[in-house]
Structure 1
């Protein structure tokens, strides 16, 4: 048999579809894996072990899955909102925000359990706007760290309408003169709704013989606008403004009918009119997709997010209503701001903008068709300079980016090399963890997770699968505290677990990636807790894992597993730094490397890998074998190492001897199932290949 040595020094193409098994000619094949489980990817090429999930606390309502919503005012003030059925709790820096009574803050909401999957939101500073087809739009206002208020959105101007409009003098005559007045906010320039019409019977106004008007002042108004009807019709034109005071004299000026007063409009009053999507764009708050008008988009007045009023004739800052014209009725499922407003419907993707270089307005509105892929109901993610969206049917994730070549948006399929990740299952929730490793985390409907390491500018797009010993039902990402030396974004999850014969739902948080030089700081357990202090011989506080066997790391030494009883575990001896939680296995199986031997291609020929070298970085042990059923632990401890103490982390090559049989796949399976770190830089294999 011919013998050769092959090296795979990059794994950042991630786990490849079994349909790629014969595609050694594909450029990214050589950087792929047959299995990448509970492992993450460095853009440089190495694969490293996923850190553990730290237990934060039980869910508010363990009978139904909540939604996790990020609320990010700035890096210092980043909260996780837990929307449970009919109530909301707030998490901050690893703990629940407490109310004035010392109990966890709970804000009542109108959202039942079946409303939560359809909840959508967008944020502006301290206000989070929320929509669902099941309830009228609302907004969550943060007035203080422990002062959160969920209130209905009252559509209309924030400045009050003037009152007490009256005539204080007019020339004699029999003509009817009709007036309305509006107030203009000194802070925002927003115009109020007009007063009720005042009809004055008088002669023709002129200098020295005017129709004099008066009204009651409005707090916060900088000026008042006076409109007058003309031509015998109920059409008003701007007559003039009163910059100060609460009086105006009509001296016969002709109204400007190019400017009329605002007319009140609320498109969301009926139960079938509640929008299903909300987004900010170009200083407007946009809503879309009600049951009665599934293809319609409503945009607020410029800078006035809760004002859907329009004027007659229309003005450039008026609210906008636009409906997508298509052959089929395809509901708007999401909106995302970019160079233009990207709009995803069940039938395709569109952009909304102004015409040419003009800003978007009711006088300049352009809908352009981009693709006929169709979008799933899951909201998209902004990743780098692109937008990730799930294609209709849930079988593909597409990265929509602006292309100068087509002067539009095109969506490359990010699952084309790993289509098996979405085969027979759908993404139910996802979030983007930009720092430190640029990972899109996906909660699947079978309870597992999938991750996509995506760095488009470096052509890195690799999928990896994750399981946690439970079912991941929801997740979100918020920035970590700037003072945290680990830095980066935090991934928060809702995990359903079977504990002591019952189903429990927990809030858990992905620990930062392991970067310490001390194995005692390694946290590689799920639903885990830590102790750091004077030596103790027992660890309590594990009630949430009652009756479960837990994996333990004590002072960097792998302690034998224990079963939690009475919320406690007993140790063989005292330890100062203890991590305990559910164990999990991390697996790496490189692709079968193909090459051309002297007698031709080796694909499909029998082969055997008898020896291999695994190049490691800051690692502490692993198991290896030809497949998952024939793994053998690689011993790092020598006779000179004191028993029961942590070994230093290892950098370098470890040689592995495999009891491998002949086959057409022949390769190496690497596993770490102890609560210790593992980073694989490369796999160097000695391959024997049969004759052609």
Structure 2
């Protein structure tokens, strides 16, 4: 006789296959063997993640910026060409093909060239780099061409009749290496900084920040692409301090929404150890009104603290006083470099060999030059990745970047402990490491982690309710960076993603849509790199999808799923007009249970033949899913009934949905749920009816 079992929640998240026999674990009954493109709520349900909204393509700095387009010495000019007021002018005096070329050792990447033609009279102009030849230009206007680098020469070729002026010439790399960094003045004034090779661009309110000419605000940066991995920062109000072991400290300051400045920090009495020979500090934070630096290449265990309240002053009085700058070097059996510092009641320090704290001499006093106490608490060793702070708990990566540890104070041991949070989901980082992470407190307290192979991991974390559950997320491309800033309704998750579009690797900035809380499916946004349209009157053609040119996109129109289409000329065309449309790359959300335990009258059900006859799926504000026993054998659950009006999407469903399981006896007894349409899905519980063959 079938016995009903129940999975009341999924708060343990995705568990390692190595736990396949640990039915004795309390978390086994709340765990899953697969949770892809779905996440765990702290209260136990599992929901499909929202889609990522396309914001902007990442392009590198203008390689032709500075003096190169203003200086005729930078160009090789044939007859007819000249540099006039920062523009390349061809006066038509050439008697044959005339060349204007510039030596630019370009890497083997894809570049774009944009320029304007004005004062055009006649003739044609072509742009080339290496073997690439652009289409001929024969009029005034703005032009854009793409080409592959690898050549050392950028050329403009005018025919014997061309007469005109080339202005606004820019040459930028597509798909540069990028790192996203949050800039938070307050919860109302928060920005995302896009660091690329020697360049910074700024995002806010779901878009890029532009100046009065509607051009993106860009800040010249001293950091090359190769520097971004080791770049660390801290912030006080409108000033962000940045450090790198091979670059002297800089500060980025904001004067207004569009007025930013990057400049070298002019320290008073800087430490003698900071120079181009011995290197510069690689860690920075604030502690007790002091700006603290640590770990230069030649002084890996040294901490330098500024004067109290004077962040850029490292001076010491002749008669030392308490607010003077102070320097301290850790004393340990090994010379393990300091990897990070976090300000708390004490200064928490992570080195490659262990975790320490630093405070005043009595433990409760302020740090002074003559009163410093340092203790080592654990010996796990840290990675050079800035920790995530959740309340009073510090989450840090162990040295190999595969293990997440939770550093907190224990009254039982009267010291700090750092248990392993990834031990139940070690398969997610067994062969790959975590390169960047960020904490999204609202709405579901999730730590987002970018893996070195482009996978996005999530860890729902709420220690007070013993919730630690992992999930992983895929897209048609690779995640490369992640950042979280405060938003209006919830905190915003921003990512950089590389995608192959029409055979070309491109990098996009995208923002995860807010968690779905709509009253119907018209507000749903479950596509990646997508856009949404809200028209007052129905339309068939929707533009703006140039970034997905040639790609197959999933479409939701007025809450109903429409057939997938290929983007042509940046647009899609619907057969039936619609007002509310979302379109973007499709992704599939999957969840699969562990081997069921229960239903046997004679001990364990593990290894026994069993049959699931029916499954009740308890849903919340969902529409559409498939169910079966694996990803190859699924049946779609119908949600439309005769009561639904024709031409309109059915309403969202909350309640128990019973499905029949078309399978005989097997020894696993697993349930597989999938959502592959751009629609919401939240599973609160699973109630299978199981017969165990005795």
TM-score interval w.r.t. the shorter chain?
0.7 to 0.9
Aligned to 1:462: 469
Aligned partners of 1:104 and 1:601: how far apart in 2?
63
Q: Provide the C-alpha distance between the structure 1 equivalents of 2:498 and 2:459, rounded to a whole number of angstroms.
A: 23
Per-residue deviation, 1:385: 1.6
The aligned residue for residue 527 of structure 1 is 529
Q: What is the 5 A alignment of 1:646-685?
A: 646-685=649-688
Q: Distance in 1 between matches of 2:666 and 2:312?
A: 67
Structure 1 residue 539, shift from structure 2 partner: 1.1
Q: Match for 1:67 among 152, 157, 179?
A: 179
CA deviations over 1:313-336 (Å, ceiling 9, x no partner):
322111111111222221111001
Match of 1:8 in 2: 7
- Give the whole-Å Cα distance in 2 for the aligned partners of 1:662 and 1:64: 53
Pair 1:491 & 2:490 matched: no
Paired position in structure 2 for 1:620: 623
Aligned match of 1:125: 237
Mapping for residues 242-391 of structure 1, pairs under 5 Å: 265-356=271-362, 357-391=364-398
Matches within 5 A, 1:632-647: 632-647=635-650
What CA distance in whole angstroms lies between the structure 2 residues aligned with 1:18 and 1:338? 37
Residue 509 of structure 2 corresponds to residue 507 of structure 1: yes
Is the contact between residue 65 and residue 494 of structure 1 (CA under 8 Å) also seen in structure 2? no
2:284 and 2:341 in contact (8 A); partners too: yes
Q: Deviations over 1:21-66 (max 9, x none)?
A: 1111111111111111111111211111100000001013233221
Please tell me whether the aligned partners of residues 5 and 599 of structure 2 are also in contact (alpha carbons under 8 angstroms). Answer: no
DSSP-derived class of the 2:631 partner: coil
CA–CA distance in 1 between the matches of 2:438 and 2:3? 43
Q: Partners of 1:63 and 1:585 in 2: how far apart?
A: 26
TM-score by length of 2: 0.82
SS of the residue 2:29 aligns to? helix
CA deviations over 1:176-200 (Å, ceiling 9, x no partner): xxxxxxxxxxxxxxxxxxxxxxxxx
Structure 2: segments with no counterpart, 5+ residues: 61-173
| 1:154 counterpart residue number | 266
Shift of 1:270: 2.9
Q: Secondary structure at the match of 1:417?
A: helix
CA distance in 2, matches of 1:595, 1:394: 38
Where does 1:357-436 land on structure 2 (aligned, <5 Å)? 357-436=364-443
Cα distance in structure 2, aligned partners of 1:573 and 1:509: 29
Give the secondary-structure state (helix, strand or coil) at the position aligned to 1:350.
strand
Residue in structure 2 matching 1:606, options 605, 609, 615: 609
Q: Deviations over 1:170-224 (max 9, x none)?
A: xxxxxxxxxxxxxxxxxxxxxxxxxxxxxxxxxxxxxxxxxxxxxxxxxxxxxxx
Q: Tell me the alpha carbon deviations over residues 435-485 of structure 1, each in whole angstroms, 9 at most, x when there is no partner.
A: 01100000111111110000000111100010011100001000003xxxx
CA distance in 2, matches of 1:99, 1:271: 40
Match 2:560 to one of 557, 576, 592: 557
Q: Where does residue 85 of structure 1 map in the other structure?
A: 197
Structure 1: distance between partners of 2:313 and 2:420:
39
Following superposition, the deviation at residue 267 of structure 1 comes to 3.9
TM-score by length of 1: 0.82
Query: How many angstroms apart in 2 are the aligned matches of 1:110 and 1:295?
Result: 26
1:597, distance to aligned residue in structure 2 (A): 2.6
Determine the C-alpha separation between the residues in 2 that align with 1:102 and 1:685: 58
Task: Identify the residue that residue 140 of structure 1 maps to in structure 2.
Answer: 252
CA contact (8 A) 1:476 1:493 kept: yes
Deviation at 1:265, TM superposition (A): 4.2
In 1, Cα distance between equivalents of 2:533 and 2:35: 31
Report the Cα distance in structure 1 between the residues aligned to 2:655 and 2:614, rounded to whole angstroms. 16
Which residue does the alignment assign to 1:187? none
8 Å contact kept, 1:265–1:310: no
Q: Secondary structure at the match of 1:418?
A: helix
1:239 corresponds in structure 2 to: none
- CA drift of 1:492 comes to 0.4
Name the CA distance, whole Å, in 2 between partners of 1:264 and 1:397: 36
Q: CA deviation at 1:655?
A: 1.1
**C-alpha contact (below 8 Å) 2:437/2:483 kept by paired residues:** yes
User: What residue number does 2:595 align with?
Assistant: 592
RMSD of aligned residue pairs (Cα, Å): 1.3
- Which one has a bigger Cα radius of gyration? 1
Call closer, same or farther: CA 1:662–1:27 in 2, change over 3 Å: same
Residue ranges of structure 1 left out of the alignment (5+ in a row) = 157-262, 482-486
- In the TM superposition, residue 3 of structure 1 has moved relative to its aligned partner by 3.0
For residues 586-624 of structure 1, give each alpha carbon's deviation from its aligned partner in whole angstroms, at most 9, with x where no partner exists: 111122231263222212212221211101110001001
CA shift, 1:134, in A, is 2.3
Contact 2:58 2:176 in 1 (8 A): no
Q: Give the ranges of 4+ consecutive aligned residues of structure 1 lying more than 6 Å apart after TM superposition.
A: none
1:628 offset after TM fit, Å?
0.6
Q: For residues 428 and 680 of structure 2, what CA distance do their matches in structure 1 show?
A: 25
**Cα distance between partner residues in 1 of 2:477 and 2:665:** 37
Matched, 1:538 2:544: no
CA contact (8 A) 2:285 2:293 kept: yes
Asked if the contact 1:52/1:525 (under 8 Å) is kept, the reply is yes
Displacement after TM superposition at 1:383 (Å): 1.0
Task: Say if 1:134 and 1:271, in contact at 8 Å, map to a contact too.
Answer: no
Q: Deviations over 1:369-417 (max 9, x none)?
A: 0111001111101012200101111231001011122222111211111
Contact 1:624 1:670 in 2 (8 A): yes
Deviations 1:633-668 (A, max 9, x none): 111112443444211001111111122243221121
